[in-house]
Amino acid sequence: MKVKYYSETHTLYIDLNNAVETDTAEVAPDVAVDLDADGNLVGIEIEHASRWVDLSRLDTQSFPLTGLSLVGSS
């Protein structure tokens, strides 16, 4: 899973599994979900994210930390 923030458009995108998106559905104002060919959820897009999400804080709880490597580590 990857969380990306695009400051130029104030868009927050949560990429759940790197699958190919084939359809998008708006589920609420400024919120859309991306689906694969089988209708499975592959991503969530939040437009004007700072209106809906506190972008200054990322709080992870019960987050699995296996298989991670530090950026810039050898």
pLDDT grade for 72, boundaries at 50, 70 and 90: low
**pLDDT confidence of residue 67:** 63
Q: Which region among 27-31, 46-50, 67-71 has the lowest average model confidence (pLDDT)?
A: 67-71
pTM of the model as a whole: 0.74
3-state secondary structure 22-69: CEEEEEECCEEEEECCCCCEEEEEECCHHHHCCCCCCCCCCCCCCCCC
